[in-house]
Structure 1
Amino acid sequence: MAPLSRRGFVKLAGCAAGALSLGGVMAACSAEEPRAGGDAPADGPEPSQVVVTMTPGSEPAAGFDPLAGWGAGEHVHEPLIQSTLIATDDDLAFVNDLATAYGCSDDGMTWTFTIRDDVRFTDGEPLTASDVAFTVNGIVNGAGSQADLSMVREAVALDDVTVELRMARPNNALLYTLAVVGIVPEHAYGPDYGTHPVGSGRYVLEQWDRGQQAILRANPGYYGDAPQIERVVVLFMEEDASLAAAQSGLADVAYTSPALAPSTPAGYDLLVCGTVDSRGISLPSVGPDHGPVVVEGDMAYEAGNAVTSDVAVRRALNCGIDRDRMIEHVLDGYGTPAYSVGDGMPWASEAMRVDYDADAARALLDGAGWAAGADGVRARDGVRCAFDLWYPAGDSARQALAYDFADQCAALGVAVSPRGASWDDIYLRQYADPVLWGWGSNSPVELFELTYSQGWGNYALYASPEVDAALTAAQAQPTVEASYPLYQQAQWDPATNTGVAPQGAATWVWLANVDHLYLAREGLRVAAQKPHPHGHGWSLVNNVDKWSWA
């Protein structure tokens, strides 16, 4: 099983509100360069701009380098500075960017892309199929890349406008990754590329002050429609500082949380974006006698849980939690119940939905021999129905979800002890104890990895030949549309009564899809948003070139 290490890439220290000088952060935007919507100087109008705040974790640790993770990884998004072969529209359908046509061989082992012949990098050099091959091979062979192109064996440029991707195995999920992989120039790629990127996308990197801000300016040589917003200033700051940036009028769009949403300042509206940003708890499905799990080299992780290894407990937790109550209590209503890592997506299964029924949950526990003790906590064969629930200590929303979950479990006779910790400490417990995770993307890749027996996110250590076969067959389909029924079958197959649905293995208890909230200045027209993946970050500005001011 490969390690899950994506969060380790983004551990930059945040800018706390008390230590942040808003004027200093905006040093590059002088008094002679007003914010968007402000009064223009007498010598003529300034380019339109927006100022957007993002979490400190949204700052790319390795710079704006697609070979190191820019655009991919935990917070997938369009790379803006670089072009991509394809992209997704508002309905998440694939559309061409650099590509003019593409297709796959009947055996799924060769993808062929024809690209435009009129694209130039910002240094004036043409973008050719060799640059595409260089980028893909760099990711395939690179140790530090967060983009998953492991299904590709090699990329070969056949001529200036034709590139073949020769596969190691059939996998149509390739397209979802290619939609966020920016193409870099072979002739201008080097160790400092992340800080001085040369691209062919809608924007160029004008300035980057680590730990503070990144400034993008419209690319005058862009081959597509000219961006309506010519300058994008991104401020990296913690939640309280983000609110302060809006209150002071510094930010045009500032991310916020349900707890701070009532503090929306005058002149701003609350922008609510729907998401597939799911909060869920992994439930180890094997007992403590499973033995350690060797994840990387000599690193062995303790595995197995004496309580959650009982499928009756896992099923009871799924139907015994009132998700609507939790969303009202913890998220002030800004969210929807979650039942999977992809609710509402074409590959989601209705079988993952579960109605709240505390009596049914108690009956499941009674039937499995978990009897209530004098303290109200159930036990069986001397084992208390109790476990620790780990969550990242710096995440106030997850902390609140963990404690609400624990309160609801107590009413079922299950004792849950929330434990806040660093991710380094949580990873040590990820196969032994339940963990409150955040997941969600606009692709079925996470569904695969959290469910497949050898997936990097199979914290439950659940293995089913039937589920694995359905998942493998889904990726091998000639089109992504043909894969949807097989992904649904992996979640629940009534013919064989197998799958990870609540009536089956119940390897997760999903809680909520959290809305992403932003304070948006009045007069700013934010273009229609795709469902946001996990994380307050760059996905908001996927289409910033189509925003406008009234």
Structure 2
Amino acid sequence: MSRRLIRTPRRGLAIATVAVSSIVLAGCASGGAEGEASPDHDLTIGVVTEPEKTLDGIVDGSLAGYNIYYNLFDQLTTLDADGNIMPSIATEWSANDDFTEWTFTLRDDIEFHDGTPLTSEDVAFTYTEVLATPDSDNLGYMGMLESVSAPDATTVVFELNSSFSPWPSITTAQSIVPAELYMELGSEEFAEAPVGSGAFTFVSRSRGVDYVLERNDDYWGDVTEVDTVTFQTVADEEARLNGVISGSLDVALISPNQVSSLEGSGADSVSRASNGATFLGINSTSGPLADEKIRLAVWHAINRDELVSAVLDGRAVPNDQIVAPNVTGYVDGSEGPAYDPAAAEALLAEAGYDGTAIALEYATDGRIPMSSEVAQAIGGYLEAVGITVELVGMDQASLSNRIYGTVDMDGIFLNTWAPSTMDGDMPITNMFAGGQNDYAQSPTTATLVEEQRMVDGADRIAVFDELASTNYAAAYLIPLYTPDADYAVTAGIDWTPRVDGEFMLADVTFSD
């Protein structure tokens, strides 16, 4: 069988250059005076939300959960701070010619926190258990996985039911559990005190409050300088900002309009381009938006450059594509319909638009910083060309339940997608191949999603280019921008934010 060896693959796209300076955090939350580093190396991180289901990484695949799993467990491969796929448990991997079989070679010196060795049997069990768990979030990106085998202690073979060239990106997200312990305890009991092989071990959790981990001194990799890390749930963005300024938090994600508030506070800010795309989802099956001309009018009506500069204070980049510039699948130089209010008005006239109100649903808090301001600005752009807009704000949980539930959205909705795998397959599958954001159900886009899985490199990017062009012509979804991720921090340690927005803390170093 012909194989291509891939030792430390990197995406074939240039990573967006972002000046990310080394920043300093303090362990103030563990007893230091305001603005001073504590003598210990404890960190308290203010996170927006907590894992949605459980601390079992086989069941839960929430972005909040990954903050825990990436520190508590190891994965076959990992992402560096810039989103490049790197070895972890696996040292190398290869695929057959049609990308339907992948073989991974593992390290032989890794132990779980309970002292048992990690072998290929644990890896095979983990992935097989995902397939056997109907309510696993991870099934959503493992639909192509047919079976997993462990021919020897350091080899794992994945058999796929269809070609899937980005399979290594999937392995960055799945944490490996100890098979015997998991089978002995079951999912529910295992989640009460999860055991991994990562740089930190589990200490405690208090639902709705915090999750505490401590350093694993026997870690197979570089042992971190962090003593303990506490992920504290702080949903309110003002509370996160004030927490860092006051010293009750050491680091927290903040909104673009909060960055200037840190001036003179004694705390610092650090920013980098995120891996997300903020976009307008569209129910294109009913009402005025069933008309392609009206959808294109919406696209032409929005001034992305002004939206970024005036509303987001320049802390984003306009983006016509559904993947961010630093995610595999982004096409350099590809641009959609330009801002052109006159063209929007002409399209509305051609379509015979009668002023019927179009709902614009958005969250007033949560995943999209300044979402209310963004929605109001978009509403203003649409009203300016003659589109009647009904702004409908709600909390993030309610909006997510509507988008990903069983009801149809009323018109337009503000949404975002940031693939934890740093690969465009996940968002385009959801948006153009039958997912919850895919109202159009276009056979053309579904075919293109399938085609990009059968090729790699430049050939794969060419398919993404065709998919983007198809969306430009039909406006099934309307991308808006890729935001920066902004953090408030205090002094005391050196830390580099990751492009995927997750907190991996093994490489934190302190300046004391």
Q: When the two structures are superposed, what TM-score results if normalisation uses the length of structure 2?
A: 0.84
Q: 1:230 to 1:112 in 2, by over 3 A?
A: same
CA spacing shift, 1:255–1:30, aligned 2, 3 Å: closer
CA positional deviation for 1:154: 1.3
- How far apart are residue 415 of structure 1 and its match? 0.8
Q: 2:347 aligns with which of 364, 368, 388?
A: 364
Q: Is the 8 A contact 2:95 2:102 kept in 1?
A: yes
Aligned-partner Cα distance in 2 for 1:34–1:143 = 49
Q: 1:276 to 1:95 in 2, by over 3 A?
A: closer
Structure 2 match to 1:173: 166
Instruction: Kindly indicate whether residue 362 of structure 2 is the aligned counterpart of residue 391 of structure 1.
Output: yes
Which SS does the other structure have where 2:486 is aligned? strand
Counterpart of 2:466 in structure 1: which amino acid? Q
The 1:352–1:543 alpha-carbon spacing in structure 2 relative to 1, beyond 3 Å, is: farther
Q: Does 1:412 align with 2:385?
A: yes
1:547 CA drift (Å): 4.2
1:10-66 Cα offsets, whole Å, 9 max, x none, are xxxxxxxxxxxxxxxx99x765x89996353xxxxx4x23221111x2x11333321
Cα gap change, 1:37 to 1:214, in 2 (>3 Å): farther
The residue that corresponds to 1:126 in the other structure is 117
Task: Please state if 1:146 is matched with 2:145.
Answer: no
Q: Which residue number in structure 2 is paired with residue 229 of structure 1?
A: 226
Letter matched to residue 471 of structure 2: V
DSSP-derived class of the 1:245 partner: helix
* Residue in 1 that maps onto 2:484: 515
Inter-CA distance 353–337: structure 2 relative to 1 (3 Å threshold)? same
* Equivalent residues, number: 467
Of the structure 1 ranges 154-163 and 76-85, higher mean CA displacement relative to structure 2 is found in 76-85
User: 1:308 aligned to 289, 292, 298, which one?
Assistant: 289
- Alignment-derived partner of residue 429 in structure 2: 449
Match of 1:433 in 2: 411
- Match for residue 198 of structure 2 among 176, 179, 201: 201
Q: 1:464 maps to what in 2?
A: 443
Q: State the partner residue of 1:327.
A: 308
2:52–2:64 CA contact under 8 A, matched in 1: no
| SS of structure 2 residue aligned to 1:62 | coil
Unaligned runs of 5+ in 2: 1-26
SS at match of 1:127: coil
Is 1:269 the counterpart of 2:296 in the alignment?
Answer: no
Superposition pairs of residues 343-358 of structure 1, within 5 angstroms: 343-344=324-325, 345-349=327-331, 350-358=333-341
For residue 536 of structure 1, what is the aligned residue in structure 2? Answer: none
1:116 to 95, 107, 111: 107
Distance in 2 separating the partners of 1:35 and 1:198: 35
State the Cα distance separating 1:432 from its structure 2 match: 4.5
Aligned partner of 2:178: which letter? Answer: P
SS of equivalent to 1:384:
coil
For the residues of structure 2 that align with 1:522 and 1:241, how far apart are their CA atoms? Answer: 19
Q: Which residue of 1 aligns with 2:9?
A: none
Deviation per residue, 1:397-426 (Å, 9 max, x gap):
222221111111111011111112323455
- Structure 1 Cα separation of the partners of residues 268 and 84 of structure 2: 30
Which has the greater radius of gyration? 1
In the TM superposition, residue 545 of structure 1 has moved relative to its aligned partner by: 2.5
Question: Residue 342 in 1 paired to residue 323 in 2?
Answer: yes
Partner-residue secondary structure (3-state), 1:154? strand
Runs of 5+ consecutive residues of structure 1 not aligned to the other structure: 1-25, 41-45, 286-303, 371-378, 493-498, 533-538
Q: Which amino acid aligns with 1:490?
A: L
User: Hey, what's the Cα distance between the residues in 2 that align with 1:39 and 1:447?
Assistant: 42
Identify if the C-alpha distance between structure 1 residues 544 and 125 changes in structure 2 by more than 3 Å, giving closer, same or farther. closer
CA distance in 2, matches of 1:475, 1:123: 39
Secondary structure, counterpart of 2:269 in structure 1: strand
Note closer, same or farther for the CA distance 1:184–1:197 as it changes in structure 2 (3 Å cut). Answer: same
Partner of 2:156: 163
Q: Deviation per CA, 1:170-214, whole angstroms, max 9, x where unpaired?
A: 212322221011100011112221221111111112222221111
8 Å Cα contact 2:66/2:502 also seen in 1:
no
Where relative contact order (Cα < 8 A, 6+ residues apart) is larger, the structure is: 2
Larger displacement relative to structure 2 (195-204 or 83-92): 83-92
**Superposition deviation, residue 393 in structure 1:** 4.1
Q: What amino acid is aligned across from residue 204 of structure 1 in structure 2?
A: T
Return the alpha-carbon distance in structure 2 between the equivalents of residues 36 and 193 of structure 1: 39
Matches of residues 36-47 of structure 1 in structure 2 within 5 Å?
Answer: 38=37, 40=39, 46=40
Counterparts of 1:518 and 1:311 in 2: how far apart (Å)? 39
Match of 1:485 among 457, 462, 469: 462
Give, in angstroms, the shift of residue 254 of structure 1.
Answer: 2.2
Once the 2 structures are TM-superposed, how far is the Cα of residue 73 of structure 1 from its aligned partner? 8.6
Write out per-residue CA displacement over residues 75-96 of structure 1, whole angstroms, 9 at most, x where no aligned residue: 7896221111011234433211
Equivalent position to 1:217, from 200, 214, 219: 214
Cα distance in 2 for partners of 1:122, 1:316 equals 57
After superposition, the C-alpha distances for 1:339-379 in whole angstroms (9 at most, x for unaligned) are 1221313412333444322222223333x143xxxxxxxx3
Show the counterpart of 1:542: 504
Q: What are the superposed Cα offsets for residues 94-141 of structure 1, whole Å, 9 maximum, x if unpaired?
A: 211011221112232221111111111010100010000010011112
Equivalent-residue separation in structure 2 for 1:429 and 1:402 (angstroms): 21
* 8 Å CA contact 2:193, 2:204 repeated in 1: no
Identity rate, percent: 22
Whole-angstrom distance in 2 between the partners of 1:73 and 1:262: 26
